[in-house]
């Protein structure tokens, strides 16, 4: 945060009360059959249609060191808001900080002036002022809210929303818990962001070592090992670079509780328990499982889906999944959410009695990006392999010259690279090959200093669980498994298509759409009432969760058929993913990567929805 004196703001509770609350907080939505099982006073749950929320500063201690934080009503996470479908809610939000603030109701379909994005839908909430949000709740399910002002979300301004269906829940359960995942850092977010701009891999302590090199030589031989290392080096890329901020800087929280403090939800054997998972983190993607229990996924981003049972699911930043579990044994189960880069985890417990806990599983081995994740052709030999790697994008003119194929294994050259031997688990099946599509064109701005990689062959598969989850022996949820009940909102065929490439320069920590950061890009213009298709092509080696405000994103499968309705769509490296949008919401809307530092580094666009012929002049905001 910039120029804010958090210590000057009087917190709503004492530091001791807050720290004690961190270890005892509990979100409990449904009444338990046995009230005597109550563990501790639950964290604040606010019901009804009329709410008063106070944004203020406080000192938070998650690691043994008190640090500045931003809280709502003195709490991190912010209070759970319970609404009812069809009601009109009024929320008076008062800013007690010394800088402007805001609240965005993530996934809620609301008028533009209620969306809460400073510089687009309103001016933000000035210090000492109150802004009144008022809108009708036209949906139900699990959602969340957070600040859209610089890095306030990173240091505490986020909370859950649960909306009761007007006609009652589709699936009855005995217990109902929110499981809100987040990442806390003791670093000043401004300093953390500045560090990434100076050295983007500063927090990556998972790089391959000399020991890894010697092991690979023993397993694969000298030629293949040297070939692979040199290839990554010439691209100026690192196959371990999955997350910009790692567990070195982050403590991962579950409902505001550290792994050591162990958030606990109670159950009686044989009960059906609903867990509403929300990824409220700033920069972290989690892989979630509960060893010993199957997870029946029943909703995605607040929308009911046809039930699908899995062992594990990946939840991108800002995504939401509701699952139902049925513990059949009278013992504890660990809720385990490991970060995608395997540098840390959030952890909680489902238990029949307070104080019980189960073993915490070891984190999976460190995953490595593959050539498929780089958008390179499967056939690494001959001209196709050379063309598939865009050397100019990967280090300028020296890229092509630096790739000395003779040095990469002598006469064997690139053909010597056996992807299976390299541990890439590359699928050469006909089905996978048919899902690979060459990208023939890139926006002109991608051929410049703001972009360091371009995927020349992308995959369109929705059944790829992503790096680190392929062939791990567990059934992992993918978008191909998700089918929103009731079908699409709008059954018209899209009338036009907008292609957006997810681009960046990792070394410089510059992020953008189509090679243009927000400050240099014109708004995307939608016409009120039109049905259009957005095609996202991820030209980077990072996973990006993309969020369109104000409208639903209806993901399509490879055949162009409706698949699942979402408010946040996670796009794997070198993936082409498309979804249909109905432009039914007038106004100026945010469209961005939900990795907070990527958004602030430029991966942000304005979407303007206007009546035909009524589009405004170009607007520029503060996101750089």
Note the pLDDT tens digit of each residue in 136-175: 999 999 999 999 999 999 999 999 999 999 999 999 999 9
> Which CATH number is associated with domain 252-351?
2.60.40.420
Topology (CATH level 3) of domain 6-172: Immunoglobulin-like (2.60.40)
Q: Specify whether the CB–CB gap between 98 and 127 falls below 8 A.
A: yes
Instruction: Decide if 6-172 and 252-351 have a common fold.
Output: yes
Q: Between 154 and 506, whose confidence is greater?
A: 154
Beta-strand ranges (E) seen in 127-208 are 130-136, 141-146, 158-164, 175-185
Half-sphere exposure of 348 (CA within 13 A, CB side): 26
- Tell me the C-alpha to C-alpha distance, in Å, between residue 158 and each of 144, 236, 399, 424, 465: 7, 36, 43, 37, 27
pLDDT score of 368: 83
The band of 580, judged by pLDDT with boundaries at 50, 70 and 90, is very high
Across 108-122, 314-328, 444-458, least confident range:
444-458
pLDDT score of 372: 72
CA 163 from centroid of its chain's CA atoms:
22
Helices marked H in 472-536: none
Across 92-96, 200-204, 293-297, 395-399, least confident range:
395-399
pLDDT at residue 224 greater than cutoff 70:
no
Which of 357, 192, 179 has its CA nearest to residue 252? 179
What residue spans define the domains of the chain? 6-172, 194-246+367-434, 252-351
Strand pairing report for 80-84 and 45-47: parallel
Phi, psi at 71, each rounded to 5°: -130, 165
Q: 12-22 burial, b if ≥16 CB within 10 A, otherwise e?
A: beeeeebbebb
Q: 496: buried, middle or exposed (CB in 10 Å: 19+, 13-18, 0-12)?
A: exposed
Mean pLDDT of the chain, nearest integer: 82
Across 224-238, 441-455, 503-517, 592-606, least confident range:
224-238
pLDDT tens for each residue of 354-382: 999 999 999 999 888 776 777 764 333 33
Q: Specify whether the CB–CB gap between 315 and 566 falls below 8 A.
A: no
pLDDT score of 398: 35
Across 10-19, 125-134, 336-345, 469-478, least confident range:
10-19
Reading the block at residue 99, the tokens are 């800088």
pLDDT tens for each residue of 416-466: 333 333 333 334 343 444 455 555 578 888 888 889 888 888 999 999 999
pLDDT at residue 594 greater than cutoff 80:
yes
The CB density around residue 161, as the number of other CB atoms within 10 Å, is 25
Q: Between 220 and 172, whose confidence is greater?
A: 172
Whole-structure pTM value: 0.82
Q: Specify whether the CB–CB gap between 428 and 378 falls below 8 A.
A: yes
Q: How far apart are CA 53 and CA 74, in angstroms?
A: 10
């Amino acid at each position: 945060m910039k120029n804010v004196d958090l210590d000057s703001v009087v917190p709503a509770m004492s530091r001791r009360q807050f720290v004690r609350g961190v270890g005892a907080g509990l979100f409990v939505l449904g009444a338990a059959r046995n009230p005597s099982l109550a563990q501790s006073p639950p964290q604040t749950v606010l019901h009804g249609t009329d709410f008063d929320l106070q944004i203020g500063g406080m000192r938070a201690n998650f690691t043994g060191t008190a640090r500045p934080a931003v809280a709502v009503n003195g709490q991190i996470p912010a209070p759970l808001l319970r609404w009812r479908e069809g009601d009109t809610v009024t929320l008076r939000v008062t800013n007690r900080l010394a800088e402007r603030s805001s609240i965005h109701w993530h996934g809620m379909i609301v008028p533009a002036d209620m969306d809460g994005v400073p510089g687009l839908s309103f001016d933000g909430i000035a210090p000492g002022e109150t802004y009144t949000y008022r809108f009708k709740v036209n949906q139900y399910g699990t959602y969340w809210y957070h600040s859209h002002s610089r890095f306030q979300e990173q240091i505490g301004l986020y909370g859950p929303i649960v909306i009761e269906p007007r006609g009652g829940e589709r699936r009855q359960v005995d217990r109902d818990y929110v499981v809100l995942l987040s990442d806390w850092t003791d670093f000043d977010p401004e300093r953390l962001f500045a560090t990434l701009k100076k050295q983007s891999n500063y927090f990556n302590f998972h790089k391959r070592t000399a020991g890894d090199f010697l092991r690979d030589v023993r397993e694969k031989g000298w030629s293949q090992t040297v070939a692979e290392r040199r290839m990554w080096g010439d691209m100026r890329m690192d196959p371990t670079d999955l997350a910009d901020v790692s567990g070195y800087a982050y403590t991962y929280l579950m409902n505001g509780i550290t792994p050591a403090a162990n958030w606990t939800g109670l159950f009686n054997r044989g009960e059906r328990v609903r867990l509403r998972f929300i990824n409220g983190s700033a920069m972290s993607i989690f892989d979630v499982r509960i060893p010993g229990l199957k997870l029946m996924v029943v909703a995605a981003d607040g929308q009911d889906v046809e039930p699908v049972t899995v062992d594990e699911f990946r939840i991108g930043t800002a995504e939401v999944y509701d699952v139902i579990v049925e513990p059949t044994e009278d013992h504890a189960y660990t809720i385990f959410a490991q970060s995608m880069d395997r540098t840390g985890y959030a952890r909680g417990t489902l238990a029949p009695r307070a104080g019980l806990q189960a073993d915490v599983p070891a984190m999976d081995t460190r995953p490595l990006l593959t050539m498929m994740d780089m958008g390179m052709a499967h056939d690494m030999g001959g001209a196709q392999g050379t063309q598939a790697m865009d050397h100019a994008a990967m280090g300028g003119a020296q890229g092509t010259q630096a790739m000395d194929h003779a040095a990469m294994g002598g006469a064997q050259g690139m053909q010597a690279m056996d992807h299976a031997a390299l541990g890439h688990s590359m699928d050469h099946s006909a089905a996978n090959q048919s899902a690979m599509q060459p990208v023939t064109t890139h926006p002109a701005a991608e051929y410049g200093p703001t972009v360091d990689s371009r995927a020349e062959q992308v995959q369109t598969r929705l059944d790829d669980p992503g790096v680190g989850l392929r062939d791990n022996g567990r059934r992992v949820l993918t978008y191909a498994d998700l089918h929103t009940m009731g079908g699409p909102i709008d059954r018209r065929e899209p009338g036009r298509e907008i292609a957006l490439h997810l681009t960046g320069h990792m070394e410089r920590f510059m992020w953008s759409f189509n090679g243009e950061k927000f400050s240099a890009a014109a708004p995307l213009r939608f016409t009120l009432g039109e049905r259009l298709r957005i095609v996202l092509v991820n030209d980077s080696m990072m996973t990006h969760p993309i969020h369109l405000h104000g409208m639903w994103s209806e993901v399509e499968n490879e055949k162009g058929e409706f698949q699942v309705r979402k408010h946040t769509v996670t796009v794997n490296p070198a993936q082409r993913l498309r979804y249909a949008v109905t432009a039914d919401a007038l106004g100026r809307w945010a469209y961005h990567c939900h990795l907070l530092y990527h958004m602030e580094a430029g991966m942000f666009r304005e979407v303007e929805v206007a009546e035909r012929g009524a589009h405004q002049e170009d607007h520029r905001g503060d996101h750089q």
